[in-house]
């Protein structure tokens, strides 16, 4: 029980104190669920592009006593007492966030308190926009994100589209690439106050120079949501949004391999940035959230330190190499990838030429313990039955997979697709008829066993729980 106390603080009279009992004693049911999830992650192949496996050091910090402290406000200006250690911790994380991305504190500031990337985005909008101001972001079926203003003909889906006037831009249907010329023409007519770049399912790099030019010409601020590529940016393996953007947001649990948290970077100094820091910080608190999650902020600090190591640089290089190997293997097998390949950590697989929906492919893969997600491709009208799947390499690269291993993964995916097509041929296209049959298909069980055998060869990051 001494491990529950700071060095030298434990006394024998504390023995048996209820608050120091381990989880297995207090809640065996929850402990068993954790073990089940741990086994699921170890035995399966994790290909969701927005997921990763954090280190043991990050997990230990997440479960630290920092979770106990309330600290509304900013460093040195809190609404609660007892925050001297929290202030030191948050200041350290802010400094590491700037250092990790090569930023000078005289030119950039950062808020490390947002609970998530979505919270970071909405807080940023709240800080720099007025209700009904105009925004432009990449359309969701083109690879964008909900928080960039997505809506349909029948409903405003994201709160961003409820409170602001949104006009999404799109990729070209033939190439899957962003049509910057069309974006410029549309922006000059719509005149957004904020132009958003960044995506959740776009496999190519961004042309920040052109985006900056468009933003300047139409009088907009330029935001990059680098949630998916922040690890690549930190490792200098993607175009740098900080060179030309006014504001940058990110999650921290994807390619950056940290806890689930959000970041807002903003320029300081100069007439264009006057008051930006104050308006954004006040939008985070008290505008959009209350007390920060200090254990998560501290864990982010650990992840940022890890991201500044040569080992992390090598990891990101491998992430990209694995994505290219996966893309090449799928295309060699005759399959269609949106944009015809990848520059980053993911591929977007268009299943429409195979006559199969992304939802069916996701279901078969799930049964085989291959985790990926159905994803819209340009031209889709339904997010529930989209025409593609998104496949990412960060998580399994964290387990040590190399290019040849992702060629094997492509083979597993090909088998899953063949099962999907064969079952659909017998059952028809309705999901309610497809699922009961595919759940009992012996080919799925065989694939699952092969996946387990493959996945168990690789170590798993993380802690004892």
The catalytic site residues sit at 70, 72, 225, 251, 254, 260
Q: Is the Cβ–Cβ distance between 249 and 225 less than 8 Å?
A: yes
Write down the number of H helices and E strands in the chain. 17, 15
- Nearest C-alpha neighbor of 143 from the set 77, 85, 215, 225: 225
Whether the bond between 235 and the residue before it is cis, its omega within 30 degrees of 0, is no
Count of beta carbons in the 10 Å neighbourhood of residue 22 = 11
User: CA-CA distance, 265 to 122, in Å (whole number)?
Assistant: 14
Please state, in angstroms and rounded to a whole number, the distance separating the CA atoms of residues 332 and 178.
Answer: 25
Within a 13 Å sphere around the CA of 239, how many CA atoms are in the beta-carbon half?
A: 17
Closest CA to 194 of 127, 282, 242, 145: 127
Burial 186-198 (b: 16+ CB within 10 A, else e): bbeebebbbbbbb
Residues near 269 by beta carbon (within 8 Å), at least 6 away in sequence? 106, 107
């Amino acid at each position: 029980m001494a491990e529950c106390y700071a060095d030298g603080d434990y006394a024998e009279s504390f023995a048996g104190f209820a608050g120091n009992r381990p989880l297995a004693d207090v809640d065996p049911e929850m402990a068993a669920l954790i073990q089940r999830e741990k086994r699921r992650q170890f035995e399966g192949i994790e290909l969701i592009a927005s997921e990763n496996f954090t280190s043991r050091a990050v997990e230990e910090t997440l479960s630290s006593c920092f979770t106990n402290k309330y600290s509304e406000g900013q460093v040195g200006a809190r609404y609660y007492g007892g925050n001297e250690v929290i202030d030191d911790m948050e200041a350290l994380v802010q400094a590491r966030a700037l250092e990790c991305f090569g930023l000078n504190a005289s030119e950039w500031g950062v808020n490390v308190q947002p609970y998530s990337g979505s919270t970071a985005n909405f807080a940023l909008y709240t800080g720099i926009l007025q209700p009904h101001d105009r925004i432009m972001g990449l359309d969701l079926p083109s690879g964008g994100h909900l928080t960039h203003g997505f809506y349909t003909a029948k409903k405003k889906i994201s709160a961003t589209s409820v409170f602001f006037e949104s006009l999404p831009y799109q990729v070209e249907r033939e190439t899957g690439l962003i049509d910057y010329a069309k974006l410029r023409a549309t922006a000059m007519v719509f005149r957004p106050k904020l132009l958003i770049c960044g995506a959740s399912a776009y496999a190519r790099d961004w042309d920040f120079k052109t985006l900056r030019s468009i933003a300047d010409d139409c009088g907009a601020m330029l935001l990059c949501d680098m949630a998916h590529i922040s690890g690549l940016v930190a490792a200098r393996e993607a175009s740098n949004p900080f060179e030309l953007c006014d504001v940058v947001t990110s999650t921290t649990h994807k390619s950056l391999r940290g806890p689930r948290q959000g970041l807002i970077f903003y320029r300081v100094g100069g007439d264009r940035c006057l008051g930006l820091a104050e308006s954004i910080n006040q939008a985070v608190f008290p505008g959009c959230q209350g007390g920060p999650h200090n254990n998560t902020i501290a864990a982010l600090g650990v992840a940022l330190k890890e991201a500044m190591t040569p080992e992390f640089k090598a990891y990101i290089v491998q992430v990209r190499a694995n994505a290219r190997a996966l893309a090449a293997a799928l295309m060699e097998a005759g399959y269609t990838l949106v944009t015809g390949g990848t520059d980053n950590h993911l591929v977007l697989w268009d299943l429409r030429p195979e006559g199969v929906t992304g939802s069916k492919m996701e279901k078969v893969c799930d049964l085989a313990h291959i985790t990926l997600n159905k994803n819209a491709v340009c031209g889709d009208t339904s997010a529930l039955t989209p025409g593609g799947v998104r496949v990412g390499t960060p998580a399994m690269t964290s387990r040590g997979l190399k290019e040849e291993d992702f060629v094997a993964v492509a083979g597993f995916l090909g088998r899953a697709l063949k099962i999907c097509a064969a079952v659909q041929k017998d059952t028809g296209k309705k999901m309610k008829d497809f699922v009961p049959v595919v759940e009992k298909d012996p080919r799925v069980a065989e694939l699952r066993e092969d996946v387990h055998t493959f996945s168990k060869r690789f170590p798993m990051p993380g802690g004892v729980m």
